[in-house]
Amino acid sequence: MTRDAPTPAQAAARWLARDDLDQSPQREQFAAWLEESQDNRDAWIQAHRIWDVFEDAEDSDLIAAMARAARRARPEPAAKPFWPRAVAASIAVLAVSATLLTGVHQGWFGGSEPARVAVEAGPSLTAVGRADYVTGKGQKSIVDLPDGTRVTLDVDSGIDVAFSGGRREVRLLSGRAFFDVAHDRAHPFAVRAGGRVVTALGTQFDVRLTSGALRVVLAEGAVSVAPVQARASEPPVRLAPGQAFTARDGAQGRVAPVDLDEALGWKQGVLEFHDKPLSEAVGLLNRYTRAKIVIRDPKVAALRITGVFRTGDARRFGRSVSQVLPVRMVARDADTYELVSTRR
């Protein structure tokens, strides 16, 4: 009797249970499995998301027991049949996934939504001037503006609010902000950043300003993006949901489709990477933690990473990455960790 091939979700759970993915031939077999299909890559991201829930729920006896059972049920090499209890553990992990992921989105385990407090709010919301709301290292904030618009500020970000004479205008001074705009057809809502103005009526969009680069991601509704100083060579660009506008150093921008889960995961306390250089992933993670991760080896920096990772915990990231890449994390001092190669 032939044995049915495992589904991508079952295979992902089995790969996750292994602790030898940094060794040959497992490393090469795992890489080949990821390359086989987008379904495999999506299943791996989902498995990581579920496993992170287990890690965050160590105070739950039931979930902790399930996690221990899944870890004990390691699969044997692919040439041999999987142990029955490995299959059972994989199915158990997947069976509770919908419930657990719902719990994450509803905040069962805490930390999924920033506090609704203004951080260092300025005294005036009517004139252009100094920053009215700013966040520091590791801080995120939700700000409710007078018109009913809700702004989620990312870490190390600042906005200047100018509401007067029927005008609704915000300047993004640094960092990133997500805008859930209150609908008011008579008074368009404008965000200025990076030499451009993003105009909306009632919609949801994300604006990021870093190192001379501007990125606008539209989640819902419609927005237009135009230079602050009108230029015939660059007419306004209208975005549709699921599109991103990107421009660097004032150059003409471009529009491309975007994965909204990846682009907006930071609001839920996670960052999602699809085949990104490890150095780029570390750079983004470092914005959310006091302790920093450094990479000094160019070969380690060039490794590619795919996965969903919680923000704010450098050690957790190091543990997760070491499961799928030939690296390990070494503590250099109380606030610095280095990712080093395990290859000899």
pLDDT band for position 222 (cuts 50, 70, 90): very high
For residues 132 and 139, the answer to whether their CB atoms sit within 8 Å is no
Stretch 69-96: mean pLDDT: 40
Neighbour count for residue 195 (Cβ, 10 Å): 13
pLDDT of 290 above 60? yes
How far, CA to CA in Å, does 166 sit from each of 18, 170, 217, 227? Answer: 60, 13, 26, 22
Stretch 166-186: mean pLDDT: 92
How far, CA to CA in Å, does 309 sit from each of 52, 145, 154, 211, 265? Answer: 8, 31, 16, 23, 10
For residues 141 and 128, the answer to whether their CB atoms sit within 8 Å is no
Task: Give dist(CA 233, CA 327) in Å, integer.
Answer: 48
pLDDT at 316: 87
pLDDT band for position 120 (cuts 50, 70, 90): very low
Joined tokens for residue 331: 């503590």
For the ranges 28-37, 116-125, 131-140, the one whose mean pLDDT is highest: 131-140
Share of the chain above pLDDT 90, in %: 32
Stretch 115-126: mean pLDDT: 48
Residue range 234-247, pLDDT digits in tens = 788 999 999 999 99
For the ranges 54-68, 75-89, 92-106, the one whose mean pLDDT is highest: 54-68
- Answering whether pTM is above 0.85, one says no
pLDDT of 159 above 70? yes
138 in the Ramachandran plot: left (φ > 0), alpha (ψ -120 to 50) or beta?
A: left
Greater pLDDT, 24 or 7: 7
pLDDT band for position 52 (cuts 50, 70, 90): low
Kind of pairing between the strands at 270-277 and 304-310: antiparallel
211 in the Ramachandran plot: left (φ > 0), alpha (ψ -120 to 50) or beta?
A: left
Task: Give dist(CA 51, CA 204) in Å, integer.
Answer: 30
pLDDT at 337: 94
pLDDT of 59 above 90? no
For the ranges 30-44, 99-113, 293-307, the one whose mean pLDDT is highest: 293-307
Rounded to the nearest integer, the mean pLDDT of the chain is: 76
Domains of the chain, earliest start first: 8-105 (no CATH), 133-260 (2.60.120.1440), 269-341 (3.55.50.30)
- Of 72-76, 96-100, 137-141, 249-253, the one with minimum mean pLDDT is 96-100
**Residues 135, 137, 138, 140, Cα dihedral to 10°:** 10
For residues 218 and 224, the answer to whether their CB atoms sit within 8 Å is no
